[in-house]
Amino acid sequence: MLAVFEKSIAKSPDALNVPGDSGAASALNNGFLAAHFASIHPGSVTVNLGSSGFMAYSLEKQNPLLPRIFAVVDDIFCLFQGHIENVAVLKQQYGLNKTVNEGIIVIEAYRTLRDRGPYPPDQVVRDIQGKFAFCIYDSSSKATFIASDADGSVPFFWGTDAEGHLVLADDTETVKKVCGKSFAPFPKGCFFTSSGGLRSYEHPLNELKPVPRVDSSGHVCGATFSVDVEAKKESTGMKKVGSAADWSANY
């Protein structure tokens, strides 16, 4: 699976960018990365998100235990890979029928948050038990919500291209095509939003600190992120708002 978001929609962390990276290119210019993905995955589907970017996925050559799913509900798009173990519990929690898949469940969890749900975002992600990585784009608010399970069970990478756009994929070669050395595995046990940036849902009270990632040749390749046990966040709860304002702007 692959997603690219324009930098005004989702600004990648500065630590991912390797200055002077000659291997980086533009993912969105002339549809470069979408065309490349389609060429190596002939049966793939690309979803154009207009000026915000695009999503793409292929059902070929996937792990049967960690399948890829694409879902859309009310202008909320979701790429999901993996398997949720507590599906029955979440379906009951969100009032969903028995036939919905993991992608729909994740969308409903996001929509509950967006519409001022009773739980903080870290709790909602922590409630999802299993092996997963997902990427949500809400076209109504132009917001993203991206997460990976606590063990990093699903291959999931992110990076920044030559123009600062955020690139996410489940294989390194696709990311390196436009990010060069400015990429890394998506941090396990974390979630990323357009307005809130990267956070740990396992340790929501702590800040995350970037650690430069060095490859086998000694070159810096983006950064990993670890929990800073000494740096505490001021607040983690979502503030209730009296209007339909986007929840993600309030935490």
Residues 6+ apart with CB under 8 A from 63: none
pLDDT value of residue 173: 92
pLDDT value of residue 60: 86
pLDDT value of residue 242: 39
- Tokens at 250, concatenated: 């309030």
| Domains contained in the chain, CATH given | 2-201 (3.60.20.10)
pLDDT value of residue 244: 41
Residue in this structure with the two tokens 């989702």, named with its chain if needed: 10
pLDDT value of residue 248: 44
pLDDT value of residue 185: 95
Q: How far is CA 192 from the centre of its chain?
A: 6
pLDDT value of residue 117: 64
**Starting from the edge strand earliest in sequence, which strands make up the sheet with 157-160, in order?**
45-48, 53-57, 2-5, 166-169, 157-160, 183-185
Residues 6+ apart with CB under 8 A from 216: none
**Distance of alpha carbon 48 from alpha carbon 245, whole angstroms:** 26
Residue in this structure with the two tokens 């029928």, named with its chain if needed: 97
pLDDT in tens, the chain (251 residues): 999 999 999 998 999 998 888 888 999 999 999 999 999 998 899 999 999 999 999 988 888 889 999 999 999 999 999 999 999 999 998 889 988 999 999 999 999 888 866 678 888 899 999 999 999 999 999 999 999 999 999 999 999 999 999 999 999 999 999 999 999 999 999 999 998 899 999 898 889 999 999 888 888 889 999 888 776 765 444 433 333 444 444 44
